[in-house]
Structure 1
Amino acid sequence: MKVAALYDVHGNLPALEAVLAEVPEDAVIVSGGDVFSGPMPAETLARLGDLGSRVSF
């Protein structure tokens, strides 16, 4: 099982999208740290939510 650990995204949706483009489809994604600060916190959280069961907070 592959795991991608993403931390301190800081509401940076473009950076999150760039990283997600490199994460294999079958990987489990663990997100931690600060998501709610930065330029696009709501959109970033929504994008993580779109990943469904692939992501764990």
Structure 2
Amino acid sequence: MSGMDKAKNKVEELGGQGKEAAGRATDDKDLQAEGQADQAKGGLKQAGEKVKDVFK
């Protein structure tokens, strides 16, 4: 996995955590769900990169 891809995926995950926390603090269910989705998307991208690395 390239370092740049790993960093981008981690930033997406951390951004999702921030959105989720902000949604929880303001009782905004949509923002909270968006944050959870961003975290999941970042995690899936990291998993995909790791699988690609295994087959190199």
TM range (shorter): 0.3 to 0.5
TM-score, structure 1 length as denominator? 0.33
Larger radius of gyration: 2
